[in-house]
Amino acid sequence: MKNATLRLSALSISLALLAGCATTATTPSASPAQSAALAQLDGGQPREAAIALETLAGSLRGAARNQTLADAAWGWHLAGDSARAQSLLTQVNPRQLAGASQQRYQLLQAIAALAANQPAQALSLLASPQAVHAPLQAPWLQTSAAAQEAQGDLFAAAASLHRALPLLSGAARDTAQADIQRLLARVDDTTLRNRSAALAADDSFYNLAGRALIARGLSLPRPLQLDPASLPDFSQRAAAERDGYRPPAHIAVLLPLSGQLATAAGPVRDGLLAGYYAEHRRRPELQFIDTAGTAAGALSAYDKAVAAGADYVIGPLGRDEVDALFARSQLPVPVQALNHGRTLPPAGHLAFSLAPEDDGLMAAEYLLARERRNVAVIHSSDDNGRRAAAAFANQFKQRGGQVAASIAVSDSPTNIGSQLPAGVDGVFLAVRGPQARALAPQLALAGLGGATRVGSSQLTSGTGKAEEDQALDGIAFPTERWASHGVAGLPAASELAGRLPTARGGAARLLAFGFDAWKISAYLPHLATSTDQGLPAATGLLYLDGSGQVLRRPSWSTFSGGHSQPIMDGR
């Protein structure tokens, strides 16, 4: 609606304001022909409706004529003929409008006011105490959001678009969802915190605002509001222990124990078993089923789990496997997927992931929290590096930052000095340790050694020799809470690495992920009511949002003397 081209005269705008003070007119009874035209107007045939209504208006007088002209003007607006809509509106006496016709007139006037850079006037026209006619509700809210954004009230604009979402579909809904994220990203921390706290207890927009708070490392004023229908059924579980422990009775774990993803599945399995056997209270029956890393294998494994009597499923691990499973119309047993699919989980199911995009989002928030606004991005050419860099750039730009350069490097980076821009105050390194060691001297030579440097979680891959890793000193990176703070149920990371191959190097992150998969399954009812403390776990503090996604707030570490050291104030 921000791009509306409808322009109305000052006289017609004044008439709109006068209409707010006029006595509400009585809605004339519609003729069969008029009713048919109005049905076309509300049913997606605006041009046909506009022609019929304008023709009818020529044979009418008084209020009936004025209301039919207003209806025809709305039809021409929807059909894209703003000039014809303007011509008809100048003939309308707003004092003789009522009901849906009056609302169509007001909405057209608001769109015109917005196009004339008069957002306050647009909002006054849309502040109707009456119930808005159903087909007008979505454009009414979208126009309100555009006016609120023009006034600088980004939080209110995002909330208005959120209320419009159930009324939209297809590309319009996708655009609105993207705009909500864009608007929330530009709200400053203090406003986001205070306005979120002020939302009504039953306002579903609180969940979206809460997600933004979690992503920025800010505390939630109260738990996220979760619809019971969006959660697995806990009614058959035994009563919870004092700490919230309330596991299922029979868990089936779907992992690619063979195939191309088997290497990743090993540490996930070991982490899950470590959490399972560290628990000495009642434990569920545990069953592992191989998916072979394929969509068909995942579907077959799920069917085996159901047939075996499982009441909770953890997995699958691969994105294609998750997509295949979540595409099913019927999933009788709740699923806690170990990856994010291309769509949100169905109601009653969850998704938990260590996606590269998460690294990018967290790095963007880390730099923004330190007032870094102009950065360079250096990323590896593999899938992880590209995805992390893309997510970083999107989040950083939405939040008002500038990406001065984005540079892709090979496994053995060449000299990139000529590509490094001057004047940046931050650098995001979505690369592995050996690449970062080769890049660090180049950053120093380019005068960026003093810039705030933050890496992705891949930074620790290929590290472990202090004499070499001293080149990484001062680079911050998101890490597992287990490594920096320890976690109940797991030995210290250094101790376990000495005994278990899957607890070493990059595999340690997957082991922590597997441990948390177990913990989510056992503490899910508690997780659903967590506030700012979240659920302490190996990969970070965990939260559950209203769309079935488990959110993670990581710990932060940096290299010092070639050794990884926790940053106590990781935000």
Q: Quick check: 108 pLDDT over 70? A: yes
| pLDDT confidence tier of residue 14, bands split at 50, 70 and 90 | very low
Confidence of residue 283 (pLDDT cuts 50, 70, 90): very high
pLDDT value for 2: 40
Residue 548 belongs to some domain of the structure: yes
Residue 536 clears pLDDT 70, i.e. is over it = yes
Question: 229 or 40: whose pLDDT is higher?
Answer: 40
Among candidates 63, 87, 64, which has minimal Cα distance to 75?
87
What are 41-98's pLDDT values in tens digits? 888 899 998 999 989 988 889 999 999 999 999 999 999 998 999 899 999 999 999 9
pLDDT category of residue 234 using cuts at 50, 70 and 90: confident
Same-domain check for residues 20 and 136: yes
Residue 94: which domain range?
A: 10-151
CA distance 525 to 228: 11
DSSP state of 549: B
Tell me, yes or no, whether 406 lies in a domain: no
pLDDT score, position 532 = 52
Which percentage of the chain shows pLDDT scores above 90?
63
Number of domains into which the chain is organized: 2
Are the C-beta atoms of residues 112 and 143 closer than 8 Å to each other?
A: no
Identify whether 147 is part of a domain: yes
> Do 487 and 343 belong together in one domain?
yes
C-alpha to C-alpha distances, 327 to 169, 298, 324, nearest whole angstrom: 19, 12, 5
Which whole number is the average pLDDT over 522-542?
81
pLDDT at res. 236: 83
What was the pLDDT predicted at 533?
A: 64
Q: Is residue 344 part of a domain?
A: yes
Select from 110, 127, 151 the last residue of a domain: 151
Mean pLDDT of 263-289: 95
Q: Is residue 507 part of a domain?
A: yes
Domain membership flag for residue 206: no
> What CATH number does the domain containing 55 carry?
1.25.40
Q: What is the largest CA-CA distance in the chain?
A: 91
pLDDT at 13 over 70: no
* Domain CATH code at residue 249: 3.40.50.2300
Whether 474 has a pLDDT exceeding 70, the answer reads yes
- Which H helix or E strand runs over 335? strand 335-337
Residues 139 and 260 in one domain: no
What's the whole-model pTM score? Answer: 0.73
Mean pLDDT value of segment 154-182: 92
82 inside domain: yes
Residue 298 inside a domain? The answer is yes
